[in-house]
Amino acid sequence: MLKALKNPFLALLAMLAFGAIVNVAFNSFIQLMLVIILINMILAMSLNLVNGYTGQFSLGHAGFMAVGAYASAYLSTQMPLLPQPFEIFSFLLYALVGGCLAAAAGFVVGLPSLRLKGDYLAIVTLGFGEIIRVVLQSTPAVGGARGMFGIPGPSEPKFIAGYIHASIWVIITFFVIWRVVKSTHGRAFLSVREDEIAAEAMGINTTKAKVRAFVLSSFFAGIAGSIFAHFTNYLNPSSFSFARSVDSVIMVVLGGMGSMSGAILAAIFITVMPEALRPLQELTGVDLRMVIYALSLILLMILRPKGLFGNKEITDYVRKKSS
């Protein structure tokens, strides 16, 4: 298990094995949830890079997801899919293009706002998210407010093909971010969070560090958008509302700022929780979901104010026990 965490290919194999089990053992609703969880994991891990590791505050993750989703979806309507079994490469390519466009948007939004001291990033990203949504709503080429239909998705078996695509990106996201933050360039991101003045005095170009973190984060948000687009085959601007950005922030805060394990677990929790509470709603006839959801978040923040993991990782605990 620990070895798999060091090797991306082993980790991917483990995920695929898990997918194969889910494919035969669970119904299509659970399968759908699983892919949504993977998408949310990518969102949480990537936002964690900015809000957790670098100590900035972005509130527009959904905007970058939208850029990736729509770019990827539009591209896929313009060029045919490769025939099976190479179809997956088409989706990887669409995602890559979507990610790059989201990264470019991240650069344009990030550079001016990250150069300034203070919380400009929160305001600018919030505005960006809303602008993107309004622009998409009024762009007929991508369906406008009605949404974009008939986006090509993986052919049958739909779950397993979509799951493989999402898993590949989850692994890439995890290892890229993990290896970056464990390198000395990545530690520079952390030094920005800890003390910007000291970081500058020690030779860290803090603006560059922040922009790098932000662009990388936007890239993966775009990837998440692309996976979402091709798995649901339908996009609507309202899917990328402010609420989705807030959801991503909650995942990061809940998991612990600067913890990969935290982001991953929080993504699972935040995705599953509202669904798990659905039977309660049917039972009582009132929508208690959001109440309980909010209460449990508040409770968690009281009990563990630094998030589930703080800035630690699961492996830190495993190691402590074994040594």
Partner 1 sequence: MSAKNLLEVQKITMQFGGLKAVDSLEFHIKEGELMGLIGPNGAGKTTVFNMLTGVYQPTSGQVVFAGMPLKGLKPFQISHLGMTRTFQNIRLFKELSVLENVLIAGAQHLTYGLGAAVMQNSLFLKEEKSLREQAMHLLKIFNLEGKAHAPSMALPYGEQRKLEIVRALATKPQLICLDEPAAGMNHQETHNLMDLIAKIRKEFNLTVLLIEHDMKLVMGICERIMVLDHGIKIEEGTPQVIQNSAKVIEAYLGVDDEDNTAEVH
What is d(CA 91, CA 22) in angstroms, rounded to the nearest whole number? 22
For residue 52, the 8-state DSSP code is I
Q: Contact between 185 and partner 1 (CB under 8 A)?
A: yes
Cis peptide before 157 (omega within 30 of 0): yes
How big is the CA angle at 162 (ends 31 and 69), to the nearest 5 degrees?
110
204-212 contacts, C-beta under 8 A, 24 or more apart: 207/114, 207/115, 209/54, 210/54, 210/56, 210/110, 210/114, 211/107, 211/110, 211/111, 211/114, 212/185
The nearest distance, CB 175 to partner 1, in angstroms, is 7
The CB-of-320 to partner 1 minimum distance in angstroms stands at: 13
Q: Which stretch binds partner 1 (CB under 8 A): 132-140, 174-182, 276-284, 296-304?
A: 174-182
Whether the CB-CB separation of 19 and 156 falls below 8 Å is answered with no
Is 7 or 77 the residue whose CB approaches partner 1 more closely?
7
175 binds partner 1 (CB under 8 A): yes
- Among 146, 179, 278, 319, contact with partner 1 (rule: CB under 8 A): 179
Strand, coil or helix: 235: strand
167's tokens: 């898993």
Per CB under 8 A, the segment of 34-42, 65-73, 89-97, 183-191 that binds partner 1 is: 183-191
205 binds partner 1 (CB under 8 A): yes
Interior angle at CA 247, CA 289 and CA 23, nearest 5: 75
**Nearest alpha-carbon partner for 259 in 215, 214, 304, 197:** 304
Site for partner 1 contains 187 (CB under 8 A): yes
CA distance between the termini of the chain: 17
Q: What per-residue string of b and e applies to 284-297 under the rule 16 or more CB within 10 Å gives b? A: eeeeebeeebeeeb
Q: Kindly state whether residue 197 participates in binding partner 1, applying the rule CB under 8 A.
A: yes
The least distance separating partner 1 from the CB of residue 194, rounded to whole angstroms, comes to 4
Between 201 and 283, whose beta carbon lies closer to partner 1? Answer: 201
199 part of the interface to partner 1, by CB under 8 A: yes
Minimal distance in Å, beta carbon 210 to partner 1? 13
Name which position in 34, 95, 101, 190 contacts partner 1 (CB under 8 A): 190
Contacts with partner 1 in 290-319 (CB under 8 A)?
A: 311
Q: Which is closer to partner 1, CB of 275 or CB of 316?
A: 316
Interface with partner 1 includes 7 (CB under 8 A)? Answer: no
> What is the Cα–Cα distance from 202 to 197, expressed in whole angstroms?
9
- Comparing CB distances to partner 1, the nearer of 176 and 250 is 176
Q: Which stretch binds partner 1 (CB under 8 A): 73-81, 123-131, 132-140, 188-196?
A: 188-196
By the rule CB under 8 A, 48 interacts with partner 1: no
- Chain positions contacting partner 1, by CB under 8 A: 175-176, 179-180, 183-188, 190-191, 194-195, 197-206, 212, 216, 311
